[in-house]
Structure 1
Amino acid sequence: MSWRPKEALLKRIYDDASVKTVKEVVSFVNSADSAKSDRKLHAGLIVTGPDSSVVLSLFESIAESANLESRTILVTLSSGQSPNLKTALNYINHCATSRNLDSQSGVIFDEAKGGRRLNYDLQILSDYVQSHSIDKVLLSFQDSEAFEGKVLTELIHVLSSWKGRIPFVLLFGIATSVELFQEKLSTDTIRCLDGSAFDVQQVGARDVIKAFQSEQPNLWVGPGLSRTILQRQKDYIQSHSTLINSLKYAYMTHFFANPLSIFLSTTQSIASSQKEHYEAVRNLPSFRRYAQTLIERKEYESLRTLLDDNESLGDVVVQEIKNGKQALQAILRATDVLFRLQSSSTLKTQTPWTEMYIRAMRAELAGSVAFKEIMASIKKLPSDNMKDMLNHLAGMSVPFGLIDFMKELDQLTHGSEEPKVPLRSAYDVHHETLRTTVVAQKVSLSKNTSTLSTQDSAYTKIVDRIYSILCSYFETTLINPQDLFLNEGLIFDSKSPHREVFTPKPRFAVERALSSPHDYLGCDCCGGSEDGLSATQPATAILYQLYLESGAMINTADLWSAFWTIVGGDGIEDEEAGQQRAL
């Protein structure tokens, strides 16, 4: 259960999302012509979104690519490093000509001219560019919206005045929009810029969780934890690194805190396991259900072997872990199929993929309103949309045949009298008409179904078969993950694992023991009285349950009377003597 493959996968997702933007920006930087006669500065406006970590990695990729293709100096400016114009110019000179910087004084010695200049004089940078044959001076403003408008305006004007001597190219990282960024600048400042806008493809939480769960996963994030992570991501607009760290925390917590995680690595599970691991498996709720299933099948010898032989239990655990992984992957695949069906439908309200995943892991997706609406919309699709849907499903490698349906649709549409007009099923609203009837000054409306053509009738039969296959597929696949054997090791759904593991809960433990003593005593006398009070239960348990049933004011005599009614004798002995013994 190594985290490194997951981390490499997530990094690749973010790199792939920004690679197109990086190429476009690098091409823009390299094509910037510094020999133009006007004083406009080439400016790239990169809309990165609110994720600051994406901005940092994006500008690093741009800097690496730009340096490979030309002699480019990169200077990164932040709002904290540029409180005023002089400090900003000083920082630019410092980063670009750091070899010639005399940090002990407020001036810089210029080797080319043999003089001393003020540290914020851009003539220093101009001489450095000429002596070192620099092609571009790339200034990146990663948090451009955090700059004060006055400082940014003055800086752009100064840089514009040096345009003919220093080949400046500006890159602005924008978290909101280009329009809002322009409001910070004056009209004269905007005229100094020759801007080009670039949009970075956003990687949402859906893409991260989907990738995390799709490529040979050993652990699935449960619905409760997934909803908590996604809700926090939505409320606080956190960076993708925070989301990844949350998943990493869940992943490593499960690995270190749950001893059952040793069975997830099937190559080492048997060799590394101890007898305590098998005892833990035998005490799992999922093992009890598995044992109950064996009893119902009357496989008593198999159950006895699992209870007594650790080696046999280990073989079953390895096989059931494999089956559980396949079942969870099938649930994830079914969620993708349903999401694809939704995108092919004409529904106005679209359910996010993450919401579908959470409902699927709670075994609530098949019975949800969204599921019913999506399945109902499939029966109303015209033939052209149905073809597109089948093509999309064919590319997803679904475990049911679609080629025959596609061939039948092609034959049916080619044989239609009007090939350009799509076929419609009997469930389409185009085949329904409203009929108005007036009887005794009362208006009544009724729906009538028009007669279907031969092609539409044949298309309706195809739609019914497709609908039936999809319903059967979802019914078989969308099972309850909690019913899987060893789901406690496959699914991690703890929102606060540290508190749940290390925080003692004496009140809860005592109250549960008093409410359900049969769970702790393991005796036969209390087993049949789970739903009521019994004289065989411990006296403290009876008193506690009577206390729960009483009101705010408790009469001691009434409490004793009720208690004696439950634990009292059969009336043969003297009542007073019996009460004394009870006390």
Structure 2
Amino acid sequence: MPASVFETPSKRKAAPEVLPDQMSSEVGESIEQSELISDRDVHKTCYVIKPSGNARKKEKKSYPFIRLDQSIPETDGHVEDRWTLYTKSIEKIQTKLESLLNDADESTLHRVWNYVTSTQDYHHEAYTLLPVGLVLAGANISSHTRLFTNISKYIEQKEAQKVATVVVTLRDASSLREALRKIVSQLVGQLKADDEDEITARMKTVPQGDQTDKRLSYDLDLLIDWFVKQESVEKIVVIIEDADGSDGNLLPEVIRMLFVYRNRLPFVLLLGIATTLPIFNTKVPKRTMRMIDFESFDVLHTDDSLTRLLDEILLCSSTQLLLGPGLFRSLLKRYNNHTKNLETFTSAIQYAYMTHFFANPLSIILAPPKSIAQSEDHIIALRTIPSFQSYVADWTSKEECDTEHIRELLTDSTSVLAFVGSCQKEFFEFVSRQSDALKLLDVLQDASSTYSSTTVKRTRAELYADAITGALRGSPIVRELVMFITKMSAATVDNLARLIDQKFDKNSVIRKMRDSWNIGSMNGKASHLKLISNISKALQEFLDANLKSYTDIVFHELFVFDSVSLCENAFAPRYRATIEKALMQPSYYLCHPSEAAELEKPFLSVAHALYRESGTLINIYDYWRAFHQVLVAERDTETMANESLPTNEDEDAGYSRGLTPPTTFLESQTLALFYKAISELKYLGFLKEMSSKRGGNKNTLVTLQKLVWDGL
């Protein structure tokens, strides 16, 4: 700061004009002085000078997305547009998912509430066992917190003040005392105490004026006093989220304690199970199972929930991006065989959206900003898309070719953007028609199931991939359904019309088609046969016209994402292959491909290479000597000194910075690096240490055993 700021008061009063309007701070920024220092501030140790609003430059907004300069040179505005499109799309998906999950869990919440309210009163003679509800919440543990929080809120909302709920996770409780303390503290309202501060916890639970109470914070007798004072509470619901994730006998001990107090406190226990009932029974002792009276609740979402997710997220009118057939088949297979969880399925959809908007610079075409019209690079990239090139080639091969139209697309940027807009409208119409066609197939299958009990229904999700590729047009399932229409009775026709009225809106094409059937005009066999012939013909034409392939749309690469490998590697990664690749080829991760030849392998990669060349048992001394020889051969003395570990001053004594260290220093240095590499390989699970004694327990031979072989 300038010296004039810290002058004496007399000097500043005599010549206040010497203070500059702008002063330089210690960091070199130009800041504007807003007011002079008054006399009463002379004795202050520091001063605050307020900068003006225009002094500092506004910081640039940063986005998680980066500029894709290698494919198409982008500006910061293009990155912002891609990020904005992505966030808006994800917000819509999350909003619809939240509504869908709440509706899907509604039946489970209602059944659990009925069970809680229907349990016997704890004073009843039949109240000899502890009522326990086993909630099969699925393997996705991340969704358990949301589910059990909703259960707690739902019960409290339904029962007002009659039921008190508490949610506990056993993975955070190291002992029975800690688990009971959580239950007591959440119900009574006391703070959780540490194990070493029992006196403080006890004093918090003791009423004022009563210093003779010796009960601790995890004593369930405290709940009895609390329950007596709470006249409106009739049930105490204890919810344990991770019942099958607890270690040892913690869960059986908690159940036993609640069972002991069942005649004094109206406990109802809800256990969240991520596995299955048979697996849970193997973990709980039989003596504990004899203490409980349980009922199970399956929370796994049905195919109806997945169908609704398909309609409201993938095939809705506002869909910006369509999942390709290969990616959707992969996600559906993973859903059916492993997760059975809508949140996991939607997470994969969100990842697909993120990958598309992150890695594709042309994704901003989905909502083209004004900057695209001024970016010639984006226009050139649009003309290189395979579907557009095929469109131009097919158009020019026609005998009557509109050369003016093709010339405008190849030379005029405005024409290309207008053509992309028309293709996007065609894409929206394609999505709407696919949705109607799949709903119609669903309705026909429902109607045929009432006609024939042997019909095996395929869900809308199972038909999605074949529908958008055009494989359903003329497929056996469509032929069978059309054949069923030709054999419908009058009652089946009425049932089909009723299902169409339920599934489709009044303004849809199917409803208008159904209104034209004039079912009430059937008076005899001839009129009936004519009617079902007209119905089958109309439905056949509708399915043939709407079950088309997405590849027929020009620029479909902008609207359909079908990268299976990216999502499979993200949601089912092969950790071992990735780690081995990183150890054998570190240049893939540590430098640019052009610098791979100059990269010196890390010490861990050197140790791993020697590990792969050795046998099942490795002598640690031989391993060390080979490691030392490789480093000495590959690295000169100066490089070794620069990349070495810090040395003691005693080892550096007598040597200047420019002189070469002694050989003993190199050996001690590489020995430390060797120990570090061995410990990291042990941590990764490649080997373990073994020791065998020889010569009457005088000499100990240390060896390493390989645990992982390459290629298995």
Q: TM-score scaled to structure 2, two decimals?
A: 0.58
Q: Match for residue 538 of structure 1?
A: none
Taking the aligned partners of 1:248 and 1:404, their CA distance within structure 2 comes to: 40
Q: Match for residue 126 of structure 1?
A: 224
Q: Match for residue 64 of structure 1?
A: 153
Give unpaired runs (5+ residues) of structure 2: 1-84, 570-587, 594-712
Taking the aligned partners of 2:332 and 2:286, their CA distance within structure 1 comes to: 41
Q: For residues 456 and 56 of structure 1, do their structure 2 counterparts lie closer, same or farther at Cα, with a shift above 3 Å needed?
A: farther
Partner residue of 1:143 out of 242, 246, 262: 242
Task: Note the alpha carbon deviations across 1:137-188, whole angstroms, 9 max, x for none.
Answer: 3211333345689655554343233234323222233456668867877887
Stretch of structure 1 that moved more, 103-112 or 57-66: 103-112
Q: After TM superposition, give the deviation of residue 325 of structure 1 in Å.
A: 1.7
Q: After TM superposition, give the deviation of residue 303 of structure 1 in Å.
A: 1.4
Taking the aligned partners of 2:168 and 2:138, their CA distance within structure 1 comes to: 18
Q: Match for residue 340 of structure 1?
A: 443
- Superposition pairs for residues 260-409 of structure 1, below 5 Å? 260-265=362-367, 268=369, 274-295=375-396, 296=398, 297-345=400-448, 346=452, 347-394=454-501, 395-397=503-505, 398-400=508-510, 401-404=512-515, 407-408=518-519
Q: Match for residue 560 of structure 1?
A: none
Task: Note the alpha carbon deviations across 1:384-428, whole angstroms, 9 max, x for none.
Answer: 1222122222342451444456533x343xx5xxxxxxxxxxxxx
Taking the aligned partners of 1:207 and 1:403, their CA distance within structure 2 comes to: 24
Taking the aligned partners of 2:356 and 2:496, their CA distance within structure 1 comes to: 39
Give unpaired runs (5+ residues) of structure 1: 416-454, 507-583
Letter of the structure 2 residue corresponding to residue 309 of structure 1 = D
Letter of the structure 2 residue corresponding to residue 290 of structure 1 = Y
SS at match of 1:140: strand
Taking the aligned partners of 2:443 and 2:140, their CA distance within structure 1 comes to: 28
| Aligned: 1:237 with 2:339 | yes
Taking the aligned partners of 2:114 and 2:459, their CA distance within structure 1 comes to: 35
Partner residue of 2:180 out of 89, 100, 106: 89
CA contact (8 A) 2:121 2:266 kept: yes
Q: For residues 153 and 256 of structure 1, do their structure 2 counterparts lie closer, same or farther at Cα, with a shift above 3 Å needed?
A: closer
Taking the aligned partners of 2:372 and 2:322, their CA distance within structure 1 comes to: 24
Q: Match for residue 632 of structure 2?
A: none
SS at match of 2:474: coil
Q: After TM superposition, give the deviation of residue 311 of structure 1 in Å.
A: 1.2
SS at match of 1:99: coil
Q: Match for residue 567 of structure 1?
A: none
Q: Match for residue 526 of structure 1?
A: none
CA contact (8 A) 1:332 1:357 kept: no
- Superposition pairs for residues 93-132 of structure 1, below 5 Å? 93-97=184-188, 99=190, 101-103=192-194, 104-106=196-198, 108-109=201-202, 110-112=205-207, 114=211, 115-131=213-229
Q: Match for residue 144 of structure 2?
A: 55
Taking the aligned partners of 1:60 and 1:483, their CA distance within structure 2 comes to: 47
Q: After TM superposition, give the deviation of residue 322 of structure 1 in Å.
A: 1.0
Q: After TM superposition, give the deviation of residue 317 of structure 1 in Å.
A: 1.4
Partner residue of 2:561 out of 488, 492, 495: 492
Partner residue of 2:97 out of 1, 4, 10: 10
CA contact (8 A) 2:155 2:163 kept: yes
Q: After TM superposition, give the deviation of residue 479 of structure 1 in Å.
A: 1.5
- Superposition pairs for residues 244-259 of structure 1, below 5 Å? 244-259=346-361
Stretch of structure 1 that moved more, 202-211 or 188-197: 188-197
Q: After TM superposition, give the deviation of residue 5 of structure 1 in Å.
A: 0.9
Taking the aligned partners of 2:447 and 2:101, their CA distance within structure 1 comes to: 27
Pick 1 or 2: higher relative contact order, CA cutoff 8 A, min separation 6: 1
Taking the aligned partners of 1:214 and 1:293, their CA distance within structure 2 comes to: 29
CA contact (8 A) 1:224 1:495 kept: yes
Q: For residues 21 and 233 of structure 1, do their structure 2 counterparts lie closer, same or farther at Cα, with a shift above 3 Å needed?
A: closer
Taking the aligned partners of 1:100 and 1:377, their CA distance within structure 2 comes to: 68
Q: Match for residue 536 of structure 2?
A: 467
Task: Note the alpha carbon deviations across 1:106-144, whole angstroms, 9 max, x for none.
Answer: 464141353222454311222333356672432113333
Stretch of structure 1 that moved more, 369-378 or 398-407: 398-407
Q: For residues 101 and 313 of structure 1, do their structure 2 counterparts lie closer, same or farther at Cα, with a shift above 3 Å needed?
A: closer
Task: Note the alpha carbon deviations across 1:182-230, whole angstroms, 9 max, x for none.
Answer: 7877887667556555454615544433432122101100001111112
Aligned residues: 460
Task: Note the alpha carbon deviations across 1:260-298, whole angstroms, 9 max, x for none.
Answer: 3212115x3676662212111111222123324543342
Stretch of structure 1 that moved more, 78-87 or 323-332: 78-87
| Aligned: 1:167 with 2:266 | yes
SS at match of 1:165: coil
SS at match of 1:485: coil
Q: For residues 36 and 178 of structure 1, do their structure 2 counterparts lie closer, same or farther at Cα, with a shift above 3 Å needed?
A: farther
Q: After TM superposition, give the deviation of residue 32 of structure 1 in Å.
A: 5.6
SS at match of 1:138: strand
Taking the aligned partners of 1:262 and 1:101, their CA distance within structure 2 comes to: 52
Letter of the structure 2 residue corresponding to residue 260 of structure 1 = L
Percent identity for Structure 1 against Structure 2: 25
CA contact (8 A) 1:264 1:489 kept: yes
- Superposition pairs for residues 400-549 of structure 1, below 5 Å? 400=510, 401-404=512-515, 407-408=518-519, 410-412=520-522, 415=523, 455-497=524-566
Taking the aligned partners of 1:207 and 1:221, their CA distance within structure 2 comes to: 16
Q: After TM superposition, give the deviation of residue 332 of structure 1 in Å.
A: 2.7
Taking the aligned partners of 2:542 and 2:409, their CA distance within structure 1 comes to: 33
SS at match of 1:169: strand
Letter of the structure 2 residue corresponding to residue 399 of structure 1 = V
Taking the aligned partners of 2:135 and 2:567, their CA distance within structure 1 comes to: 41
Q: TM-score scaled to structure 1, two decimals?
A: 0.69
Task: Note the alpha carbon deviations across 1:209-258, whole angstroms, 9 max, x for none.
Answer: 34321221011000011111122223332643332221111112111222
Letter of the structure 1 residue corresponding to residue 455 of structure 2 = K
Q: For residues 391 and 149 of structure 1, do their structure 2 counterparts lie closer, same or farther at Cα, with a shift above 3 Å needed?
A: farther
SS at match of 1:351: coil
Q: After TM superposition, give the deviation of residue 366 of structure 1 in Å.
A: 1.1
Q: Match for residue 208 of structure 1?
A: 309
SS at match of 2:238: strand
Taking the aligned partners of 1:237 and 1:499, their CA distance within structure 2 comes to: 14
Partner residue of 1:158 out of 257, 262, 270: 257
CA contact (8 A) 1:142 1:173 kept: yes
Taking the aligned partners of 1:385 and 1:84, their CA distance within structure 2 comes to: 64
| Aligned: 1:217 with 2:319 | yes
CA contact (8 A) 1:10 1:208 kept: yes
Taking the aligned partners of 2:302 and 2:444, their CA distance within structure 1 comes to: 22
Q: Match for residue 75 of structure 1?
A: 166
SS at match of 1:363: coil
Aligned-residue Cα RMSD (Å) equals: 3.5
Letter of the structure 1 residue corresponding to residue 436 of structure 2 = R
Taking the aligned partners of 1:302 and 1:66, their CA distance within structure 2 comes to: 66
CA contact (8 A) 2:443 2:499 kept: yes
SS at match of 1:137: strand
CA contact (8 A) 2:300 2:340 kept: no
Letter of the structure 1 residue corresponding to residue 482 of structure 2 = M
Taking the aligned partners of 1:138 and 1:230, their CA distance within structure 2 comes to: 37
